[in-house]
Amino acid sequence: MTDEPAVSPHLRRAQALERQRQAESRQAAVMVRKFAEDARAAGIEPVRFTARPYGGGARYRTAVEGWYLKRDQTVGVGTDGQFYVLSVAPTLKARVTGAHLEPAEPPLELGKGGRDGESMPMQVALDKRLAGGNDWAR
């Protein structure tokens, strides 16, 4: 008999889901890094990201360059090979000096849990963006 406390089935399930999310994020991170390498090799010009404050409104400048993955410019891949969610807290400082972005853990499915038709496997989004080249945003 052990002295360890019993773990509830709910906690075990939550831990399993978290392990799965982390494994998927590691898999997506490899895809994102490869995309950044491929985009540079293909001569696709990066742009300086802007970020939208939570709740919408004006966009804030950022110091991060990369490639948007969605036409609504809500997520992107930086030239550093990191994934970015381009939504930030609304602050006066960000409005004046620009918003600070931190890399996020990439999902295997962009937009998962969102409205119907707005989710897309990460690899599909990366492939579409790469295929679009420098004309993608037009």
At 133, is the pLDDT very low, low, confident or very high (cuts 50, 70, 90)?
Answer: very high
At 115, is the pLDDT very low, low, confident or very high (cuts 50, 70, 90)?
Answer: low
DSSP assignment string, 4-50? SPPPPHHHHHHHHHHHHHHHHHHHHHHHHHHHHHHHHHTTPPPEEEE
Determine the Cα–Cα distance for residues 97 and 79; give it in Å rounded to an integer: 21
- Total residue length of the chain: 138
Q: What is the pTM for the complete model shown? A: 0.85
Angle at 115 between CA 114 and CA 118, to 5 degrees: 80
Determine the Cα–Cα distance for residues 32 and 26; give it in Å rounded to an integer: 10
- pLDDT (tens digit per residue) in 4-58: 677 788 888 888 888 888 888 999 999 999 999 999 999 999 999 999 998 777 8
- pLDDT (tens digit per residue) in 54-77: 877 789 999 999 999 998 899 999
Task: Report phi then psi at 92, rounded to 5.
Answer: -65, -40
Determine the Cα–Cα distance for residues 13 and 18; give it in Å rounded to an integer: 9
Coil, helix or strand at residue 124? helix
